Homo-oligomer: A and B are copies of this chain.
Amino acid sequence: MTNTMNVGLVGYKFMGRSHSNAYRQVQAFFPDVALQPVLRTVCGRDTEAVQTFADQFGWESVETDWRKLVVRDDIGLIDVSTPGDTHAAISIAAAQHGKHIFCEKPLANTLDEAKQMLAAVQKAGVVGMVNFNYRRVPAVQLAKKLIEEGRIGKVYHWRAVYLQDWIMDPNFPLVWRLQKNVAGSGTLGDLGAHIVDLARMLVGEIASVTGLTNTFIKQRPVLAETSGGLAAAGGQQMGEVTVDDAALFLARFANDAIGTFEVTRFANGRANYNSFEINGSKGSIVFNLERMNELNVLFSDDPPEVRGFRNILTTDGTHKYLSAWWPPGHIIGWEHTFTHGVYDLLNGIAKGITPDATFEDGLRCQAVLDAVEKSAGSGAWVEPTY
């Protein structure tokens, strides 16, 4: 007999869909999951819209106020899939009521919020996991394994970009992701958080940074009402873009590796190009999310004659999570990373262990982003602290 975990999801747009899919798929493809998720309640402010969503994805009921959701006895796990400005309030309240928490990234809009969130889950003794989903790309897990096994040797270089192009049109409207009061920051929190998190996971802690941020298009058409979706039709009135369109920074890691980071929404033709390269004393690793089923790896101890980057198709059962899916060569999609995360989350809750990325990981990531913002202001190198 399988144990279950009742889930209450807050948010039903892009992330709400991704998370809902993950809860559904984990049941079918990971039957050994320690706790079967029950799609108990989804919460959103617009009753009709949230009910439609619930029907579509199989949520048993709906709620329109997250404050009511987090106090319910029949909910064991609160899933925070809202924009960043409500992460702290929801998570802290959930923790205070003893709920486990699965929170979208970045953990918070400010370093201070992130600290309070970590304190809240620590005090409550609940699982607090941040959904840095790219940790659970099988190819990224392979990269992690190779590094941990010493196959790449001492890491010298980290080189990461996360490039998008969806707001290059000056008529693209002022959606919530372009408003500091809702989103916290622009590319830095949205995309930078991902590659900082990957850098921390794969290389180690970041000791200091210097960077710049830029807003290429400073005014955009105001929306009639805030939409949770990525795209929206613009109106006549113009409003201020209050976040960064791009952020570039250099880093020194605690272990003496050095790194470059770049995030932008102005890289024409790059839809979702999250790519990194790691160079170590014994080898190199290259990853690109748009070809996320592949990892390129070089071992410098291969004989020179047959040395070259190996294009590893990470689709067979030797790769993490893959035995749950399809035969070799049958690629998985982007959303599968969420299913992997939910699988680890539910197993973690069952065992009383917080899977990575923990809220502490979320906080440390936030501290780096905070340091980049400070450096972008001052022009100096800044050490992340919290």
Contact = CB atoms under 8 A, between A and B. Distances in A.
A330 interface: yes
Interface in A288-317: 289-300, 302, 304-313, 315-316
B28 A327 contact: no
A159 B264 CA distance: 12
A330 B335 CA distance: 8
A331 B333 contact: yes
Given A211-B250, A316-B304, A268 B292 contact: no
A268 B156 CA distance: 10
A329 B212 contact: no
Interface string A144-158: 011000010000110
Interface residues of A, number: 97
A27 B14 contact: no
A168 B157 CA distance: 12
Nearest to A269: B298
A172 interface: no
B300 A308 contact: no
Interface stretch (A60-68, A124-132, A270-278, A358-366): A270-278
B316 A312 contact: no
A161 interface: yes
Contacts of A325: 333, 335
A289 B280 CA distance: 22
A159 B161 contact: yes
Nearest to A161: B159
Given A290-B313, A330-B335, 18 more contacts: A14-B326, A14-B327, A164-B329, A168-B281, A230-B327, A249-B250, A250-B250, A270-B284, A271-B313, A271-B328, A272-B328, A302-B310, A307-B310, A308-B312, A309-B310, A310-B311, A330-B334, A332-B334
